[in-house]
Amino acid sequence: MQVGDPPVVISSQTNHALDQLLKHVSTFESNYVRLGARSGDPEIKKRTLFAVRQKEPHVTLQGSVLGPARKRHRGLIQPIIELLQPFNSENADAPLLSSFFVEHGVLTQVQFDSLERGAKGWIYHGKEENVDPLIYWLGEGIGKFELSYTTDNFGFVEDEVDLEYEQLKELEAEQGIEEDDYEILKGQFIHIREGFCGQSESISEETSLKYLKLQDLWKIPVKARGAVYDALRKAAKMKVTEKFRRLVALYAKNSNELQIGKWERDNHILQSARVIGMTTTGLSKYRGLISSLRPKIVLIEEAAEAIEAPVAAACFDSLQHMILVGDHQQLKGHCSVQDLEGEPFFLDMSMFERLLHNGIEYTTLRRQRRMAPEIRRLIEPIYGELQDHKSVHNRPKVPGMGDIQSYFFSHGWPENSDSLASKMNETEAEMIVGFFIHLVLNGTPVTDITILTFYNGQRKKLLKLLKSHPYLQGQYVKVVTVDSYQGEENEIVLLSLVRSDKPNVGFLSVENRHGNLTFKRGLYSSIGEVEDGLLT
């Protein structure tokens, strides 16, 4: 890169994968910025846009709208607060004040004066001097406004969503509040609540409006005053709503100007960065900001799992080179609407896979730095001959396994299904847990072992057995399905295939779910179970 060149944009499907990618980048380039604050790495967190912005000295950009917009913003907040204050829950212990109705043109000054004159005639023990005359006028014609809410699910019983730990962390990362969002949440919170309403004989709206034309409100019958108060309340709320809409329209316009000013500030900060990282979701979320930097190079990692829409958002008009890094022989992307996956829409197909099938020129990396040679040989039928980097040789032996790096155990234990028809094999699960404990007792840290399975039913069974084991109390054990482990790795992987007694492999027949996805996860060792010595 030359001086003045725009930053390189890099992206990954998940926050965890992005952290891993940026950690590698940090070894040769310290001037990088991460967009989005959902980083789990302490060092990467120091390079989020929010953190970098806090370190930057206050910079006033010539011609920026940020300063004037902030000043107008402060001027717009107070009128909105004052307008809604009468409906604040803190004031819900009393009816709306008569002065409130006068202020909004619902009561005339003459009618207000009549209320005050009449209230002075009410003399009794314990009378307070500052009581609003409307309260004396209403008497027992009002009561507490009562409202009962139905349950959120309207009485229906809902199944608890079953999310794996890694999926839950990613969901929280995507939907959680970022540091930037806290600025949006700042301000005064006003809890709107109805206080009192009329409690009297029901009369028509026409009759209520007729009574409101009287200049002396004390001439209104006592039994009708509650209904008249409701008519006053309704008219005043309509007036407040009109004013509120006008103020909110001005506020929304000012908020847009404020956001533009913040983007100008952030653009100034990002211009000095050499690398900018974000998730594929961030490519859409921050598209306007990134586009203003006029990037020429975009790199997307795990591009075969990213659906096409967020990748298309990264096709800026200034783009000269898009680098897609991925493996179309592993898992496809996931659509929120499952019906859009596969025929006839194929929205789960990534741009990476589509371009590859359309014959675009690509390069295959042949030198691998992840797996021990014994594991690498298992996937050669899929990837052809791969070359081992020198870093994968002479890796530490697995304690308790001798010289064995890759091991398969054949059994004939029958499977069954859980209540959700997901496959499980209890005997195999018990054997896996026993083997897990064997590795731990031989000195392998629990965090260095991951158990993979293709079935959620087996995952639940394994977790239940592991959590109840006395040697693992209070420790987090990684037991995940293969689908959710895309892009992850660990030192040792235990694979539970849950053998089938039927002559088919079910969804494992999908090419993208073959062993290439599973065995590449293990750095030092992979151990699995097979039927009659055959791995399908």
In tens digits, what is the pLDDT along the chain, a chain of 536 residues? 777 899 999 999 888 889 989 999 999 999 999 998 788 889 999 999 989 988 876 667 777 888 899 899 889 989 998 898 888 877 667 788 888 889 999 899 999 898 888 877 665 545 556 778 888 888 877 777 666 655 555 555 444 445 555 555 555 555 555 555 545 556 677 777 777 777 766 788 888 888 888 899 888 888 888 888 888 888 999 999 999 999 999 999 999 999 889 889 999 999 999 999 999 999 999 999 999 999 999 999 988 888 999 899 999 999 999 999 988 877 788 888 889 988 899 999 999 999 999 999 999 888 988 888 888 888 888 888 889 999 888 888 889 988 888 888 888 888 888 777 788 999 999 999 999 999 999 999 999 999 999 888 999 999 999 999 998 988 889 998 887 776 677 889 999 988 655 555 554 445 554 444 455 445 455 555 544 433 32
Q: Tell me if 34 sits within 8 A of 44, measured CB to CB.
A: yes
State if pTM tops 0.75.
no
Which segments of 443-525 does DSSP mark as H helices, in order?
Answer: 456-467, 515-519
Query: If DSSP codes are grouped into helix, strand and coil, which group holds residue 337?
Result: coil
pLDDT in the model for residue 465? 94
26-34, long-range: CB < 8 A, 24+ apart: 29/274, 29/275, 31/272, 31/273, 31/274, 31/275, 32/273, 32/274, 32/275, 32/276, 32/277, 33/7, 33/269, 33/270, 33/273, 33/275, 33/276, 33/277, 34/276, 34/277, 34/278
One CATH from 3.90.650.10, 3.40.50.720, 3.40.50.300, 1.10.10.10 for 8-58+273-358: 3.40.50.300
DSSP secondary structure letter of residue 37: S
One CATH from 2.60.120.330, 3.50.50.60, 3.40.50.300, 3.30.460.10 for 368-528: 3.40.50.300
pLDDT in the model for residue 516? 47
DSSP secondary structure letter of residue 336: S
pLDDT in the model for residue 17? 86
DSSP secondary structure letter of residue 445: -
pLDDT in the model for residue 335? 85
Query: Which residue is it, tokens 């179970």?
Result: 529
Report which of 7, 5, 23, 9 is spatially closest to residue 273, judged by C-alpha positions.
7
Alpha carbon distance 454, 497 (integer Å): 7
pLDDT in the model for residue 32? 96
pLDDT in the model for residue 128? 56
DSSP assignment of 339-361: GGSSTTT-TTS-HHHHHHHTT--
Which segments of 190-299 does DSSP mark as H helices, in order?
Answer: 205-211, 225-270, 280-285, 287-291
Alpha carbon distance 252, 249 (integer Å): 5
pLDDT in the model for residue 109? 93
pLDDT in the model for residue 206? 85
Domain ranges of the chain: 8-58+273-358, 62-122+129-143+184-250, 368-528
- Total number of residues shown for the chain: 536
Query: Which residue is it, tokens 């895309």?
Result: 486
Fold matches, 8-58+273-358 and 368-528? yes
Cβ burial, residue 403 (10 Å; 0-12/13-18/19+): exposed
pLDDT in the model for residue 515? 47
Buried b (16+ CB within 10 A) or exposed e, 115-143: beebbeeeeeeeeeeeebbbbbbbeebbe
Alpha carbon distance 74, 83 (integer Å): 15
Hey, how many other C-beta atoms are within 10 angstroms of the C-beta on 10?
22
Q: What is the CA radius of gyration of the chain?
A: 34
